[in-house]
A and B are shown apart, each in its own frame.
Chain A
Amino acid sequence: MITLPNARTIAVLLLVLAALASVPFLGDSFYLKLATRVIVLAIFAMSLELLIGYTGLVSFGHAAYFGLAAYGLQLLSPEYDAANLLVALPASMALAALVALAVGALVVRTRGIYFIMVTLAFAQMLFYLVRDSAWFGGSDGAFIYVKPVLRIGETVLFSLDDRTGFYFFCLCCLVFTYVLLVVILRSPFGQVIMGIKENEHRMQALGYNTYRYKLASFVIAGTFAGLAGFLFAAIDGFVSPELLGWHQSGNAILMILLGGSGTLFGSLFGAIAFVGMEDIFKERAIFGPLADHWQILMGVFVIAAVLLLRRGIAGWLVTWTGRRSPSLQERDDA
């Protein structure tokens, strides 16, 4: 059962948050962009963790909702003008949510390996649709020439074109996502999905229509993946079909594994580790000519991580702060 992390874990999280909040003051635009990527990918991984870690649904097609919302921003952005955040963001997330509802209604009927294959297959279908349809700008991708702004009436309050402002906006979205997901997991709904992960059959016998709860979880996860995808598209002002591709889904799973499944905040550490590794592997000064083929290094790293790193960074952190996996703990004040 979900708990608030204990004092030591919270302290570590606040430290990490403070470190992230101080990145813009380094004055290095490269690192600022890297940190933006970390935060956005952490939101993406966290949304998937709701499915994998708390509902027991291993989705291998989560990038579809990430990518669709990214395309949502592209489609809603006028060519030479900025889209309004107040419209484009909810609309893109709604697009992701609607497609997640349609796909989820079918895939949630399946279990285990079937679920993995079917989520992957539907995500690939969406990938091909986006890639092959003229509507979306084809396989080369499409640009968002003007970044979205927050506009009320005629007054522009804030533009995502401002790198630092955008960064803090993403950071707020991450904290918002984390807090909201923790609240949801502690709610009656959250208890039900965790019960489903633990023993779906018994949940049905107890009178829960598990299909509906799994579907709701699938849609919530898809919606937050949409939030991440929207922000991701705003980083570079560029979208491509690869955002929906299965490598993107695989990367999200990798982040969860690196961070440690079973804790929401693990996704943040997973994203840091993932982006950090990618960046290091591309470093010629360290890996010489192999850096041009960093995918091999990444592959070796992934295999080693699966074989050696059993509980991820969060698992290690939780042990270090003196607790069992928090998903198994009951609140003392209950």
Chain B
Amino acid sequence: MDSVFLFIQILNGLQYGLLLFLIASGLTLVFGIMGVINLAHGSFYMIGAYMALSLTQLTGSLPAALLLGIPIALVLGYGMEGLFIVHLYRRDHLDQLLLTYGFILILNETQSIIWGDDAHGVPVPSWLDLSLPLTDTLSYPVYRLAVSGVCLVLAIAMYLVIQRTRLGMMVRAGESNREMVEVLGINIRQLYAFVFSAGICLAAVAGMLAAPIESVYPGIGEQVLIISFVVVVIGGIGSIKGAFVGSLLIGLAQVFGQVLLPEFSGAVVYALMAAVLLWRPTGLFGRA
């Protein structure tokens, strides 16, 4: 394989992995801190993608759509946590699965009513609609680099918030020991509401950023959800570091799977998951 081609594939894999990280990090924190399994997490990726579609049409610019979409996603997440998820903290996983499954049914059908069942494209902002020439024949789209950049900035911001702020200290405490949070007298309700809304918002941002790369179509949320599960299983529940490593691994596995094993590309990520499970049943960075 030619080295420039390889380089492009690595960039693609990293870019996809970084997007996955935005989704999986929220999922893993909600699992780890709140003990809740949220199947509807992927639906907010879908909502993000469709918001990018409509808000770009409305405002004429993707960055403006992002600025409008973020508060909308936060409000949706905050509302869902306060009205519904709050009833699930003392329930078993079965109830959590079903309630959030109900949300998927509603959100999917609502999407179908509002936007229909066709695939839509979202234009890349014109000032980013460029390609970097790598060789005479190969080039790399600047928008993908920009997406990777935004994801990296968000990942670093997340790291700084978690490592350096009081809020982050609560998240870390919750990550390692739920009882300890209560002992520390931290307002657990506020912490949960924040973690949940932030997770939802990150998933929606991922959807908005991805919209111009992939087209927007029904069912994108579910595909992403299941891949995010794989990431969380590989990385270990509740571990942000695990989500980061897992996302990049899956991103690269997916991209190279498509190139090297096109017939089985769908199965490569699951094979990777099976291998990790055999080796470490609680994930690379999970606690036993």
Which of A's residues lie within 8 Å of B, judged by CB?
52, 58, 60, 106-107, 109-110, 112-114, 116-118, 120-122, 124-125, 128-129, 132, 246, 250, 253-254, 256-257, 261, 293, 295-296, 298-303, 305-307
Question: How would residues 103 to 119 of chain B score, 1 for a CB under 8 Å from any chain A CB and 0 otherwise?
Answer: 11111111011000000
CB B87 to nearest CB in A, in angstroms, measures 6
B94 contacts A by Cβ under 8 Å: yes
- Which residues of B sit under 8 angstroms from A303, Cβ to Cβ? 84, 99, 102-103, 106
A58 and B94 in contact, given A114-B282, A121-B226 (Cβ under 8 angstroms): yes
B232 closest partner in A (C-beta): A117
Which of B93, B112, B277, B278 is the one whose CB lies under 8 Å from A113? B93
CB A302 to nearest CB in B, in angstroms, measures 3
Of the A-B pairs whose beta carbons lie under 8 Å apart in the complex, a sample of 29, sorted by A's number, is: A106-B277, A109-B277, A110-B282, A112-B93, A113-B37, A114-B282, A116-B93, A117-B229, A117-B230, A117-B233, A118-B277, A121-B230, A121-B233, A121-B273, A125-B266, A125-B270, A250-B97, A250-B98, A293-B112, A295-B106, A295-B109, A296-B105, A296-B110, A298-B102, A300-B106, A302-B101, A305-B98, A306-B95, A306-B99
Complex A-B, nearest 9 residue pairs according to Cβ-Cβ distance, in ascending order: A302-B102, A299-B105, A299-B106, A125-B270, A128-B266, A303-B102, A295-B109, A117-B229, A306-B99
A125 to B226, CA, bound (A): 10
A114 and B233 in contact, given A254-B98, A295-B106, A306-B98 (Cβ under 8 angstroms): yes
Which of B84, B102, B103, B267 is the one whose CB lies under 8 Å from A129? B267
- Which residues of B sit under 8 angstroms from A296, Cβ to Cβ? 105-106, 109-110
B229 closest partner in A (C-beta): A117
Q: Is the interface of A mostly helix, strand, loop or mixed?
A: helix
A106 and B278 in contact, given A113-B237, A246-B222 (Cβ under 8 angstroms): yes
Structural contact, A298 and B105, CB atoms closer than 8 A:
yes
Structural contact, B105 and A302, CB atoms closer than 8 A:
yes
- Which residues of B sit under 8 angstroms from A256, Cβ to Cβ? 94
- Which residues of A sit under 8 angstroms from B99, Cβ to Cβ? 302-303, 306-307
B194 contacts A by Cβ under 8 Å: no
B277 closest partner in A (C-beta): A106
A293 to B112, CA, bound (A): 9
**Residues of chain B from 136 to 185 with CB closer than 8 A to chain A in the complex:** none
- Which residues of A sit under 8 angstroms from B270, Cβ to Cβ? 121-122, 124-125
Structural contact, A114 and B97, CB atoms closer than 8 A:
no
A132 to B264, CA, bound (A): 9
A120 and B93 in contact, given A254-B101, A300-B102 (Cβ under 8 angstroms): no
**Residues of chain B from 175 to 230 with CB closer than 8 A to chain A in the complex:** 222, 226, 229-230
Which of A109, A116, A293, A298 is the one whose CB lies under 8 Å from B37? A116
